[in-house]
Amino acid sequence: MVRSRNILTATAVAIALGAGAGRGASAPSAPVAVAAPAAPPVPAPPTAKLAWVGRVLAPVTARAAPKRSARARMVVQPIAPFAQGATTLLITRTLVRDDVRWVEVLLPIRPNGSRGWIPADVLALSTTPVRISIDISERRLTLFRAGRRVMTTSIAVGAPATPTPTGPSFAIAERISTNQPGAFLGPVVMPLTGFSEKLNEFAGGNGRVALHGTSQPELIGSAVSHGCMRMRNADILRVARAARPGTPVSIHA
């Protein structure tokens, strides 16, 4: 009985090890497939349907050219200055130099449209299908998702003495909840990477323009602001649900 058990056990072990093919000959082991590491994503310039954004993971110097010896444009911190959330930047170009992938990003500094180069490895990359177009003359904001118009609303824009800045290259910089729906700025403020071209500072700030709500909805459709774009509180909440920091914004007259 003991002998039979031993024979059965030995046979099971031999089968498990693949040693039963041929009279005592070992079957060749099949090669083990090893998956190659996934290549990191390669961001591309914004299109009508998609934009790449990068969340900053550590303090990094944005430079005037894609090399570490290039002139510094600014130091980008991972924490945004107003709401203390994550800093997320719109990516406008990318290239590899000396085995380092660099990305060009839109910077929240003057002059409007300023850009800088940072190494891609300090960013957590993602994409957004959302973009915003603002028509100053029509006083209208349009929100697109994957190239399809999903929202159009009337807004108030800058007064003649303090016009809303125009240009193809802005982005949402932050999303700030005021927790005060009845406040002058409404329930949400979304600063852009753009600045007033007439005011160097306003209300203690540095002249940054923003999308925000309003406690004066009767002024929607007028040119009355210091450069910001005001909208009804229900509309800014819709925009805030769809857009996030890094979302591209174009403003045209």
Domains annotated on the chain, with CATH: 51-128 (2.30.30.40), 130-252 (2.40.440.10)
DSSP E strands in 43-109: the ranges are: 51-56, 60-63, 72-76, 88-97, 100-106
DSSP E strands in 162-243: the ranges are: 167-171, 176-177, 188-195, 208-212, 223-225, 229-230
Determine the pLDDT at residue 230: 98
Determine the pLDDT at residue 41: 83
8 A C-beta contact, residue 246 and residue 54: yes
pLDDT tens string, the chain, 253 residues long: the values are: 434 444 334 333 332 333 333 444 455 566 666 666 677 789 999 999 999 999 999 999 999 999 999 999 999 999 999 999 999 999 999 999 999 999 999 999 999 999 999 999 999 999 999 999 999 999 999 999 999 999 999 999 999 999 999 999 999 999 999 989 899 999 999 999 999 999 988 766 789 999 999 999 999 999 999 999 999 999 999 999 999 999 999 999 9
* Tokens of residue 9, six digits: 């056990």
Mind telling me the catalytic residues? Answer: 212, 228
Determine the pLDDT at residue 60: 98
- Chain-centre distance for alpha carbon 196: 23
8 A C-beta contact, residue 218 and residue 152: no
